[in-house]
Amino acid sequence: GENVEQHPSTLSVQEGDSAVIKCTYSDSASNYFPWYKQELGKRPQLIIDIRSNVGEKKDQRIAVTLNKTAKHFSLHITETQPEDSAVYFCAAIKYKLSFGAGTTVTVRA
Amino acid sequence: EPEVTQTPSHQVTQMGQEVILRCVPISNHLYFYWYRQILGQKVEFLVSFYNNEISEKSEIFDDQFSVERPDGSNFTLKIRSTKLEDSAMYFCASSTGGPDEQYFGPGTRLTVT
């Protein structure tokens, strides 16, 4: 089955700086890569996604990049704010959603 | 904005008891899912359901688990004989046209004592 690796496990950034989270996947047939944000005790929320026919996608301060050849994709958050503090999960889909282990992002004021 | 809802928010049960977790997916969604998240760990896929049958299931989803869509709005997960290791947060999710763009419910925290 699909195996998604995510790094780093924790990330602390100063408010206003950028945060980057990287993921790799194993199944080259995976074709959809969402990112979820989970605040403490709450549901995972879909924040951005990218499909395998696209290399980059941006939505305001959030961007995702995908390198199909290398089988890795990344989440970039610019101008981080305290409300960006959460656990972020990457995921890959072939027939089912396989999640990475999560990155706990802490934005220091 | 429509959301997936789940009940109860917290369920405490004794080992060996049966539990039913309930979900109401977003109304125009056709694909339904259950996931679990053990405290501090990643979200794990359990099962997907489409057209009144299971389409995918993980190795976690053994004979102790079953899913049902008893009516036009509810989607349930039953655990027949709970074990201590079933303690986790269980999330329901739904999507429109396949496994892409899944929206999650708030979860049910199951505690097995």
Could you tell me the pLDDT band of residue A87, with boundaries at 50, 70 and 90?
A: very high
pLDDT at A41 exceeding the cut of 90? no
pLDDT at B11 exceeding the cut of 80? yes
The reply to whether residue A44 touches residue B104, judged by beta carbons under 8 angstroms, is yes
Q: How many CB pairs under 8 A join A and B?
A: 52
A49 vs B: CB within 8 A: yes
A7 vs B: CB within 8 A: no
Mean pLDDT of chain B, nearest integer: 95
What pLDDT does A6 receive?
A: 97
Could you tell me the pLDDT band of residue B2, with boundaries at 50, 70 and 90?
A: confident
pLDDT at A39 exceeding the cut of 80? yes
Mean pLDDT of chain A, nearest integer: 95
The Cα of B102 is separated from the nearest Cα of chain A by a number of Å equal to: 8
What pLDDT does B67 receive?
A: 97
CB B16 within 8 A of CB B81: yes
- The per-residue pLDDT for range A92-105, each reduced to its tens digit, is 998 889 999 999 99
- The per-residue pLDDT for range B48-96, each reduced to its tens digit, is 999 999 999 999 999 999 999 988 789 999 999 999 999 999 999 999 9
Could you tell me the pLDDT band of residue A84, with boundaries at 50, 70 and 90?
A: very high
Measured CA to CA in angstroms, residue B39 lies from A102, B27, B44, B60 at distances of 12, 30, 12, 16
B43 vs A: CB within 8 A: yes
CB A12 within 8 A of CB A108: yes
- The per-residue pLDDT for range B20-39, each reduced to its tens digit, is 999 999 999 999 999 999 99
Instruction: Tell me how crowded residue B85 is: count the other CB atoms within 10 A of its CB.
Output: 9
